[in-house]
Amino acid sequence: MIHVTAGAYRDGEQIRFRVWAPQTKQMNLICQRTELATFQMEPDDEGYFSLTLPWQDEVCRYQYAPDGQGPFPDPASHFQPEGVHGYSQFVDHTRFPWTDNEWRGRAFEHLILYELHVGTFTPEGTFEAIIPRLAALADLGINAIELMPVSEFPGSRNWGYDGVFPYSVHSAYGGPDRLKALVDAAHALGISVFLDIVINHIGPEGNYLGHFGPYFTDKYATPWGKAINLDGEWSDGVRDYFSDLILFWSEYYHLDGLRLDAIHEIFDKGAFSFWELVHEKLRTHQQYSGRVFHLIAESDLNSPRVVKPVQIGGMGFEAQWLDDFHHALYVLLDEKGRDRYIDFGTIGQLAKAYKDGFVHSGGYVEFRKRKHGVSSAGVGGAAFVVFNLNHDQAGNRAGGERLSQLVDPARQKVAMAALMLSPYVPMLFMGEEYGEDTPFFFFVSHTDPELIRAVIEGRQNEFKDFGDGQEPRNPQDEETFLHSKIHWEKRSEDPYADLLAWTKRLITLRQTHAALRNFDKDGVAVDVLTDKALLLKRTSRDERATLYCYINFSDEKLTFSLPEEAHWHLILDSPEHAQTKTGSARNIDGPGVKVFSNVPHGI
């Protein structure tokens, strides 16, 4: 088992409590087992207080009182059954009956990711309710789900980015054992499980970390509150707290990887960077666990350094989200998109996104009023995650619109093909596979009246100048949350079933055609055909299998000719799924995609 520096863990027939509070003189543990009792903890030279108590399988709830303050929940709590202000509860991680001992994970480049929000993915909004839907996802070809944050947040409705207990699993979703059951069931079906976590800030309500130590710093600032102290005085304990967190999710929940939110808002100027510390611990842990563990970054930097190894000054992430791909594609699908993404709008930008990665690679960007980014040409395709939709793209619109509410079915098919034919790791947002048209809003359920007022006013101000003329819904209103729940039964109804079948066909092609399994940029070429159409060429590593993917975004007919040196098979046609034709002259009437292969099945 890994060594986690803080929290409550089983040690034989005892519970070991450990909390970091380097400026505290006395720490008391207030523990409710068979009866309520107070114990004084022992300090050490590194700023930690520890105590070991006998345990006989009883429920153990506890809080800490630093220098007579509080009491407060454990900063490293694993479960908050009474919410963010209540007692922490000890979790015995040795008891869960795992059945995935043979599971070793998947190579990252083979993943088809599926982002979901636990609370709105099912009517019940729980981990347990997700399990019956896993088989349908596996049948579609989804082999990795990515959960939006599940750490304890205020109330029962939240995106999860206001979490205040990073080690805890939200009580309304089912708590620790139900998350483990979901992971175990997913692994049984060959599905990896990723979790979105937030270590760039801590939410405002229920945030007690400052009562224990200098977790935060005024040296930097984030858009969401105080920055985390990773390089200032007393930062050693903070660095351990957050670096251990990454190992914690692998060890105790058998997760296959993490997506780290907004890593550009994580600051560290130290000689031995936080990311070096993370990867040093991960290397040791993976040797012990025998399982692969992937780290994905959300980054606004447009810097290849994010995915370069820490040994050469990088951050060491396996991959990062590629927003530029989304923006370049979206504005070609929806003319109104140019108002939203003023620096995008040309077919050449999508061609660059396919071939290089970053569209903004050093030139002037109007949105930022400065030059932005550096080139990512040569960075392998498996280092980027691409998408047509995610929680931000829908939830940060005043009306919460998904792509299916903004463009017609023909363009939805084009979007799905453009995604799945890319040389990157694709990700769908829950319901996108069948064109779910229920909006996805931003929602919260805070209990602090002043915070509620500030959140409502903040959303209103955000959309005054950029809200498509719509008034944003009240995020605190429960109806906002309920209206965001997807309707799974639509997938078997017209017209949704047609897009679902198209999505499945694309995923199957991606998983079986050798050209689409080559992520080297040498196997990617793009020709701009018109200002609304392009040809994406994909070639297998052995250069024996080739795909010609004609993508037309316009309402006008696109006529093209295929090279004559090969016998071409039409294997995908967005209006007519299952055609098989040969010849050189082709056309696409209006928005559509046609894909040709020089081998019948691309194997």
Per the model's pLDDT, the better-predicted residue between 289 and 577 turns out to be 289
* CATH assignment at residue 74: 2.60.40.10
Strands of 322-470 (E only): list them.
364-365, 370-371, 384-387, 425-429
**468, pLDDT greater than 70:** no
Quick one: pLDDT at residue 467? 54
Compute the average pLDDT of residues 291-316: 96
128 and 185: one domain?
yes
* Integer angstrom CA distances of residue 563 from 2, 568, 586: 57, 9, 12
Quick one: pLDDT at residue 582? 47
| 117 pLDDT tier (thresholds 50, 70, 90) | very high
Encoded tokens for 286: 């993976």
Strands 61-66 vs 27-32: parallel, antiparallel or unpaired:
antiparallel
**579, pLDDT greater than 70:** no
Quick one: pLDDT at residue 559? 95
Residue 515 inside a domain? The answer is no
Quick one: pLDDT at residue 546? 96
What pLDDT, in 10s, does the model give residues 369-407? 999 999 999 899 999 999 999 999 999 999 999 999 999
Largest distance between two CA atoms of the chain? 84
Write phi, then psi, for 294 (nearest 5 degrees): -105, 140
Q: Could you say which DSSP state residue 152 is in?
A: B
Where among 89, 121, 143 does a domain terminate? 89
459 and 499: one domain?
yes
What pLDDT, in 10s, does the model give residues 127-184? 999 999 999 999 999 999 999 999 999 999 999 999 999 999 999 999 999 999 999 9
Write phi, then psi, for 430 (nearest 5 degrees): -45, 125
How far apart CA 118 and CA 133 sit, in angstroms, is 12
Report yes or no: 363 and 348 within 8 Å, Cβ to Cβ: no
Domain that holds residue 126: 111-198+243-506
Query: Over the chain, what is the mean pLDDT?
Result: 95
* 120 phi-psi bin (left φ>0, alpha ψ -120 to 50, beta other): alpha
Q: Can 177 be counted among the known catalytic residues?
A: no
Secondary structure class of 62 (helix, strand, coil): strand
| 34 pLDDT tier (thresholds 50, 70, 90) | confident
* CATH assignment at residue 146: 3.20.20.80
| 601 pLDDT tier (thresholds 50, 70, 90) | low
Q: Say how many domains are in the chain.
A: 3
Q: Can 334 be counted among the known catalytic residues?
A: no
How far apart CA 385 and CA 325 sit, in angstroms, is 9
Report yes or no: 107 and 143 within 8 Å, Cβ to Cβ: no
Quick one: pLDDT at residue 583? 46
What pLDDT, in 10s, does the model give residues 179-216? 999 999 999 999 999 999 999 999 999 999 999 999 99
Report yes or no: 320 and 283 within 8 Å, Cβ to Cβ: no
Residue 209 inside a domain? The answer is no
Report yes or no: 350 and 530 within 8 Å, Cβ to Cβ: no
| 603 pLDDT tier (thresholds 50, 70, 90) | low
Report yes or no: 30 and 66 within 8 Å, Cβ to Cβ: no
Residue 145 inside a domain? The answer is yes
565 Cβ contact partners less than 8 Å away, ≥ 6 residues apart: none
Strands 319-321 vs 61-66: parallel, antiparallel or unpaired:
unpaired
* CATH assignment at residue 548: 2.60.40.1180
Quick one: pLDDT at residue 289? 86
| 433 pLDDT tier (thresholds 50, 70, 90) | very high
328 and 370: one domain?
yes
Among 38, 39, 6, smallest CA distance to 22 is for: 6
State percent of the chain over pLDDT 90.
90
Compute the average pLDDT of residues 232-255: 97
Quick one: pLDDT at residue 140? 98
474 and 411: one domain?
yes
**580, pLDDT greater than 50:** no
411 and 552: one domain?
no
65 and 182: one domain?
no
**5, pLDDT greater than 90:** no
What pLDDT, in 10s, does the model give residues 445-461? 999 999 999 999 989 88
What pLDDT, in 10s, does the model give residues 475-491? 999 999 999 999 999 99
Encoded tokens for 259: 């997506």
| 43 pLDDT tier (thresholds 50, 70, 90) | very high
| 443 pLDDT tier (thresholds 50, 70, 90) | very high
Encoded tokens for 100: 């995935």
Task: Choose, from 298, 318, 324, 432, the residue flagged as catalytic.
Answer: 298
* Integer angstrom CA distances of residue 351 from 125, 188, 329: 40, 39, 10
Give ∠ CA 512-515-520 in degrees, rounded to 5: 125
Report yes or no: 172 and 156 within 8 Å, Cβ to Cβ: yes
Quick one: pLDDT at residue 2? 62
Q: Could you say which DSSP state residue 409 is in?
A: H
590 Cβ contact partners less than 8 Å away, ≥ 6 residues apart: 410, 552, 554, 555, 556, 557
Compute the average pLDDT of residues 420-438: 98
Where among 472, 506, 540 does a domain terminate? 506
| 287 pLDDT tier (thresholds 50, 70, 90) | confident
How far apart CA 321 and CA 22 sit, in angstroms, is 37
Residue 39 inside a domain? The answer is yes
Residue 261, number of CB atoms within 10 A of its CB:
20
Residue 208 inside a domain? The answer is no
Residue 507, number of CB atoms within 10 A of its CB:
20
Residue 232 inside a domain? The answer is no
Where among 481, 506, 531 does a domain terminate? 506
Encoded tokens for 245: 């967190």
Compute the average pLDDT of residues 532-543: 97
* Integer angstrom CA distances of residue 224 from 52, 54, 162, 241, 321: 37, 41, 9, 20, 20
Encoded tokens for 350: 């999508």
Quick one: pLDDT at residue 577? 43
DSSP string, 453-504: HHHHHHHHHHTTSSSTTPPPP-TTSHHHHHTT---GGGGGSTTHHHHHHHHH
115 Cβ contact partners less than 8 Å away, ≥ 6 residues apart: 145, 146, 148, 196, 387, 390, 391, 427, 428, 429, 430
Encoded tokens for 191: 């599905």
User: What is the pTM for the complete model shown?
Assistant: 0.96
Residue 158 inside a domain? The answer is yes
471 Cβ contact partners less than 8 Å away, ≥ 6 residues apart: 398, 460, 463
Give ∠ CA 72-78-81 in degrees, rounded to 5: 70
Per the model's pLDDT, the better-predicted residue between 601 and 47 turns out to be 47
169 and 132: one domain?
yes
**585, pLDDT greater than 80:** no
Task: Choose, from 261, 265, 334, 573, the residue flagged as catalytic.
Answer: 261
What pLDDT, in 10s, does the model give residues 548-566? 999 999 999 999 999 987 8
Burial class (CB in 10 A: 0-12, 13-18, 19+), 153: buried
Encoded tokens for 407: 């463009």
527 and 502: one domain?
no
Q: How many residues does the chain have?
A: 603
Report yes or no: 265 and 192 within 8 Å, Cβ to Cβ: no
Residue 513 inside a domain? The answer is no
46 and 162: one domain?
no
Strands 533-539 vs 524-530: parallel, antiparallel or unpaired:
antiparallel
491 and 531: one domain?
no
Q: Could you say which DSSP state residue 149 is in?
A: P
Encoded tokens for 574: 């967005």
135 and 271: one domain?
yes
Burial class (CB in 10 A: 0-12, 13-18, 19+), 339: exposed
467 and 566: one domain?
no
